Amino acid sequence: MGFYSNVLLPWLMDRSMADPALIPHRREILANVSGNVLEVGFGSGINLPYYPEAVTQLTTVDINPGLNAIAQRRIAASPLTVNNQVLNGESLPMATASFDYVVSTYTLCSIAQVHEALSEIARVLKPGGQFVFLEHGLSDRPNIQRWQHRLTPLNKLLADGCHQNRNIQQLIEAHFEQVTLERFADESMRFMGQIYYKGTATKTPVAPD
Domains in the chain (CATH in brackets) are 2-202 (3.40.50.150)
Distance of alpha carbon 165 from the chain centroid? 16
Cα separation of the two ends of the chain: 56
Q: Which residues pair with 99 in a beta bridge?
A: 125
Sheet strand arrangement including 55-62: 82-86, 55-62, 35-40, 99-105, 125-137, 195-202, 178-185
Q: What is the pLDDT of residues 35-85, one digit of tens each?
A: 999 999 999 999 999 999 999 999 999 999 999 999 999 999 999 999 999
Please state, in angstroms and rounded to a whole number, the distance separating the CA atoms of residues 107 and 44: 12
Q: What is the pLDDT of residues 113-133, one digit of tens each?
A: 999 999 999 999 999 999 999
* Res 126: pLDDT: 98
Please state, in angstroms and rounded to a whole number, the distance separating the CA atoms of residues 196 and 86: 26
Phi, psi dihedrals of residue 182, rounded to the nearest 5°: -120, 135
